[in-house]
Amino acid sequence: MQRRTLVKKLAAIAALPLTGIPVAAIAHKGEPAPEAIATPRPAAAQATLLQPDDPASSLVFDPPQEIAPGVYFLKGKTTYFASGNLQEVECNNGWIIFDDFVLLIDANYPAAGPTILQEVRKTTNKPIRFVFNTHHHGDHLYGNGYWAQQGATAIAYEGLIGELQRFETGYYGTNPGRWEQVAQKRSDLKGFTLLPPPVTFKQSMVIEDKHRRVELLHLGTGHTMGDGVVWLPKESILFTGDSCLNGPYNLFRDADIKSWIPTLDRMAALKPAILIPGHGALGNAETPERQQHYFRSVYEWVSAAKKAGKTFEQIAPTIPALRQIIAADPIAVTYLIPAPEIAPGFSLEAHVKRIFETI
Ligand SMILES: [Zn+2]
């Protein structure tokens, strides 16, 4: 499809009203518009939410949605992306009920565990036997210890272990790594240690019973070097973790843009009726293309500057011009993070820098 046609089509879709549209209608009629990023709250309002000794006190999820029989989506809050406060990070979760057990998608932080468990228990009494980590970031994996206590075994694409070895130096070596840094700001990590998934796969793994087939897949790297997705071929549902998001939530801290764009092609090729991103609202088959469109807009701008022989220091002052270009693009703007940087690697400026360094 020509870019211009796609942009027009997606713009029309993005303009569709969402309220009251059932999931099936969203899936077939078009892309749900990503949420606008929340305006940062004043400090006083934040203080009431941030109870360092009781992070669970701020955990209020939207009610879970049954997106197909026995397949659930629990949307995490997105306030972190406006505040940058680690106490507020929550990923989206999902769970799939098999004949005898449950597969949970992403571990979240330990503080979110009891709330997620409570929601799962409203839908089934079957044991949560597996938890799939879509990548190594804390909001998707640091809760593994909590789920192990519930009897669940964590599973991931094998590249995730390499990422843990790179960044979790407190676990694999002697120097404090990311877990130790985060533990200074999140009291819910106390009483737990990092728990790398004990089960990994090379390209794919199937969990199947008489009634259901779930494919755990590595479709390529991008958001991290350890990205994995969950594909339900019969239901046409794809859980992408943070390798495909729906809205301005892209963190480029460990990203590789060159491989990420083709990985998104592989997601689009599955044509999922419903795409569950790691953060943001439910998406569909067009969500990967929308994210790619933002990536390409930034990539092409950075690449042209680099080819012209410019240094990052030279292009940094001109990033506001790129911001204007993206702000005027009806698709790309839905992935544009408002300035300034509110978390490491999380801003247009950080995206430009990471792309500049990795192309
Ligand atoms: Zn995440």
Q: In what order do the strands lie in the sheet with 65-68?
A: 65-68, 71-74, 93-97, 102-105, 128-132, 153-157, 199-201
Ligand 1 centroid from CA 249, angstroms: 8
What structural domains and CATH numbers belong to the chain? 23-290 (3.60.15.10)
Evaluate if residue 14 carries a pLDDT over 70: no
Average pLDDT for 207-214: 97
Evaluate if residue 146 carries a pLDDT over 50: yes
Rg (CA), the chain: 20
Average pLDDT for 295-309: 96
High-pLDDT (> 90) share of the chain, % = 74
Ligand 1 centroid from CA 334, angstroms: 18
Q: What is the mean pLDDT of the chain?
A: 85
Ligand 1 centroid from CA 137, angstroms: 6
Span of 56-65, 147-156, 201-210, 232-241 with lowest mean pLDDT? 56-65
Evaluate if residue 34 carries a pLDDT over 50: no
The pLDDT of residue 61 is: 66
Evaluate if residue 38 carries a pLDDT over 50: no
Ligand 1 centroid from CA 5, angstroms: 31
Ligand 1 centroid from CA 2, angstroms: 31
Ligand 1 centroid from CA 328, angstroms: 27
Ligand 1 centroid from CA 139, angstroms: 5
Average pLDDT for 181-202: 96
Ligand 1 centroid from CA 316, angstroms: 26
Ligand 1 centroid from CA 91, angstroms: 5
User: Quick one: pLDDT band at residue 171, thresholds 50, 70, 90?
Assistant: very high
Ligand 1 centroid from CA 165, angstroms: 19
- Give the separation between CA 297 and CA 309, rounded to whole angstroms: 19
User: pLDDT tens digits, residue range 306-334?
Assistant: 999 999 999 999 999 999 999 999 999 99
User: Quick one: pLDDT band at residue 29, thresholds 50, 70, 90?
Assistant: very low
The pLDDT of residue 60 is: 57
Ligand 1 centroid from CA 144, angstroms: 15
The pLDDT of residue 53 is: 33
- Give the separation between CA 18 and CA 29, rounded to whole angstroms: 11
DSSP annotation of 295 reads H
Host H or E run for residue 208: strand 204-208
Ligand 1 centroid from CA 269, angstroms: 23
The pLDDT of residue 5 is: 40
* C-alpha triplet 139, 78, 171: angle, nearest 5°: 15
Ligand 1 centroid from CA 344, angstroms: 13
What are the two backbone dihedrals, phi and then psi, of residue 106, each rounded to the nearest 5 degrees? 75, 145
* C-alpha triplet 245, 185, 279: angle, nearest 5°: 10
Ligand 1 centroid from CA 89, angstroms: 8
Average pLDDT for 77-103: 90
Ligand 1 centroid from CA 83, angstroms: 15
User: pLDDT tens digits, residue range 92-137?
Assistant: 999 999 999 999 999 999 999 999 999 999 999 999 999 999 999 9
Ligand 1 centroid from CA 345, angstroms: 12
Q: Fill in the amino acid letter for 56.
A: A
Ligand 1 centroid from CA 85, angstroms: 13
User: Quick one: pLDDT band at residue 80, thresholds 50, 70, 90?
Assistant: confident
The residue assigned the tokens 């004043």 is: 42
Average pLDDT for 296-315: 95
The pLDDT of residue 19 is: 28
Ligand 1 centroid from CA 359, angstroms: 24
Ligand 1 centroid from CA 88, angstroms: 12
- H helix runs in the chain, sequence order: 3-14, 23-29, 43-49, 80-83, 113-123, 138-141, 144-149, 159-167, 169-172, 178-183, 257-269, 287-307, 312-315, 319-327, 348-358
Ligand 1 centroid from CA 211, angstroms: 30
Q: What is the 3-state secondary structure (H, E, C) of 99-157?
A: CCCEEEECCCCHHHHHHHHHHHHHHCCCCEEEEECCCCCHHHHCCHHHHHHCCCEEEEE
Average pLDDT for 345-355: 92
Give the residue, 116 or 49, on which the prediction is more confident: 116
Ligand 1 centroid from CA 100, angstroms: 29
The pLDDT of residue 79 is: 82
User: Quick one: pLDDT band at residue 45, thresholds 50, 70, 90?
Assistant: very low
Give the residue, 65 or 4, on which the prediction is more confident: 65
Query: What tokens does 353 get?
Result: 């820098």
Evaluate if residue 55 carries a pLDDT over 60: no
